[in-house]
């Protein structure tokens, strides 16, 4: 048809832009992983914050990798996705790392809140004292939940493909595709569940930390205390607010996916892909610049590259 060249050129441009975005995000997260692993080898130990950042960097790196593979195949070789098990494996792995990204991010927010905030509640004091022992279990639980989501997504797509696809009848291809997309609503529901639970953890962490900051500031005014704890509160608050902004943007992209995924509106879905692929790299960069050690290492590398 006359529109076919335009569609092909748009797909090529879209894949090119997404590729550049994904490569930047993968480089940022690979840097995060390498620096933390080198520190792990030198010190033979990682603190709780570094453990969370390491797992977060790994999740985001592989999420971007599978996201790019899916985007490349769907735009350039769409028929490959209808080879049995390719679509299921890609979406299952994509969902696993995507969920892991969000739940590990939520763990980082909870960690900042418990570590920095000051409350006299017994349960909160218990968490504060034992947070370093709790973190590995939180990370393990995040991985297990993410694995469950990944398996559920694999099974949903596998049932949809086996039930609805008919490769022998070329004319029924788009009709069958639409019927498959009707089976993807459970996946969008699962994704919404992941967003909502992790987003609620970020919101509660922000509220508790803000309340603790307000109490601490009022106490400083009356007791003339030093500002070290205040600085810690403000830094943690900035980090959690960055999570809140990024989660809000991603939640809007989820709504756009829900609206446009079954309407074949390529331009809107391209915008959604741009938003979703920008999150892992942009937010990891914020985390790097909020950590003095990581920031110093990154600036040193950039300075060496500039000099060469």
Average the pLDDT over 114-140 and give the result.
Answer: 87
Domain-embedded: residue 103: yes
Dump pLDDT digits (tens) for 187-201. 777 777 777 788 888
Give CA 248 to chain center in angstroms: 12
Higher-pLDDT residue of 263 and 135 is 135
Confidence of residue 174 (pLDDT cuts 50, 70, 90): very low
Quote the radius of gyration of the chain (alpha carbons, Å).
22
- The answer as to whether 102 is a domain residue is yes
What residue numbers bound the domain in which 117 lies?
Answer: 4-301
Tokens of 230: 């205040």
Quote the CA–CA distance of 283 and 263 in Å, as a whole number. Answer: 30
Question: How far apart (Å, rounded) are the C-alpha atoms in residues 89 and 154?
Answer: 7
Q: What is the pLDDT of residue 301?
A: 83
Does residue 1 register a pLDDT over 50?
no
Question: Mind listing the pLDDT tens digit for each residue in 38-47?
Answer: 989 988 888 8
Query: Rounded to whole angstroms, how far apart are CA atoms 109 and 127?
Result: 14
Strand runs (DSSP E) across 97-234, as ranges?
none
- Residue 308 belongs to a domain: no
62 inside domain: yes
- 117 vs 151: CA distance, rounded Å: 37
pLDDT of 232: 65
CA distance 25 to 200: 25
CA-based torsion, 157, 159, 162, 164: positive or negative? negative
Q: What single-letter DSSP state applies at residue 78?
A: G
CATH number of the domain residue 13 falls in: 1.20.1070.10
Tell which wins on pLDDT, 224 or 212.
212
CA 56 to chain centroid, in Å, comes to 8
> Which residue's structure tokens are 């840097």?
31
Decide if 306 is inside a domain. no
Residue 271 lies inside a defined structural domain of this protein: yes
The secondary structure of 208-245, three-state, reads HHHHHHHHHHHHHHHHCCCCHHHHHHHHHHHHHHHHHH
Task: Report yes or no on 179 lying in a domain.
Answer: yes
Residue 9 lies in a domain: yes
Overall number of domains in the chain: 1
- Indicate the burial class of 61 (C-beta count within 10 angstroms; 0-12, 13-18, 19 or more): buried
């Amino acid at each position: 048809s006359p529109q076919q060249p335009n569609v092909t050129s748009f797909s090529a441009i879209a894949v090119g832009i997404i590729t550049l975005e994904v490569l930047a995000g993968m480089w940022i997260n690979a840097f995060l992983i390498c620096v933390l692993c080198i520190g792990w080898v030198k010190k033979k130990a990682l603190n709780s914050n570094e453990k969370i950042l390491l797992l977060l960097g790994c999740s985001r790196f592989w999420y971007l990798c599978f996201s790019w593979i899916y985007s490349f195949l769907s735009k350039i070789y769409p028929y490959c996705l209808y080879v049995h098990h390719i679509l299921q494996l890609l979406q299952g792995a994509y969902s696993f790392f995507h969920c892991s990204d969000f739940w590990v991010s939520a763990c980082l927010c909870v960690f900042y809140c418990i570590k920095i905030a000051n409350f006299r509640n017994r349960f909160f004091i218990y968490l504060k004292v034992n947070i370093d022992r709790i973190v590995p279990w939180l990370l393990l639980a995040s991985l297990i939940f993410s694995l469950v989501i990944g398996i559920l997504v694999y099974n949903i797509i596998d049932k949809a493909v086996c039930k609805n696809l008919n490769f022998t009848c070329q004319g029924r291809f788009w009709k069958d595709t639409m019927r498959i997309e009707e089976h993807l609503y459970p996946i969008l529901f699962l994704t919404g569940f992941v967003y909502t639970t992790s987003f609620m953890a970020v919101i509660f962490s922000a509220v508790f930390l803000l309340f603790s900051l307000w109490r601490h500031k009022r106490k400083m005014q009356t007791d003339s205390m030093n500002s070290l704890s205040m600085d810690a509160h403000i830094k943690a608050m900035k980090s959690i607010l960055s999570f809140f902004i990024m989660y809000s943007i991603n939640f809007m992209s989820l709504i756009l996916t829900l609206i446009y995924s079954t309407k074949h509106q390529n331009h809107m879905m391209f915008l959604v892909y741009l938003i979703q692929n920008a999150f892992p790299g942009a937010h990891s960069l914020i985390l790097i610049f909020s950590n003095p050690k990581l920031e110093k290492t990154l600036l040193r590398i950039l300075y060496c590259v500039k000099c060469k």
